[in-house]
């Protein structure tokens, strides 16, 4: 089976959230799920609020990202988690 490249958009609970610390906790969650983070970017939303765009690769055998989404959404500083893109990586 192939790998899957996933893009998640994670919204923090507010502008006062330490995005660096949040990114590190998300990396740990992705790694424990069996994925490998390629990069994490901060994207401006509005009024100083930024979202985190998390790009990672996971084995296709894992199936759904739903368990990972639930784990990340349970972090204290996370308001919402959305999968915005899923692509099959062949090669």
Q: How do residues 51-70 score in pLDDT, each as one tens digit?
A: 999 999 999 999 899 999 99
The mean pLDDT of the chain is 95
Summarize pLDDT for 39-50 with one digit per residue, the tens. 999 999 999 999
Domain that holds residue 67: 3-89
pLDDT over 90 (residue 24): yes
Instruction: Quote the tokens at residue 66.
Output: 């739903």
CATH code, domain carrying 56: 3.30.70.60
Q: What is the pTM of this model?
A: 0.92
Q: Do the Cβ atoms of 12 and 49 come closer than 8 Å?
A: yes
Counted domains in the chain? 1
């Amino acid at each position: 089976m192939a790998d899957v490249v996933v893009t998640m958009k994670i919204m923090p609970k507010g502008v006062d959230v330490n995005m660096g610390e949040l990114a590190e906790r998300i990396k740990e969650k992705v790694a424990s799920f069996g994925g490998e983070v390629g990069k994490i970017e901060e994207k401006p939303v509005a009024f100083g609020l930024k979202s985190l765009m998390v790009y990672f690769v996971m084995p296709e055998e894992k199936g759904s990202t739903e368990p990972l989404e639930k784990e990340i959404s349970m972090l204290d500083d996370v308001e919402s988690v959305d999968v915005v893109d899923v692509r099959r990586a062949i090669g």
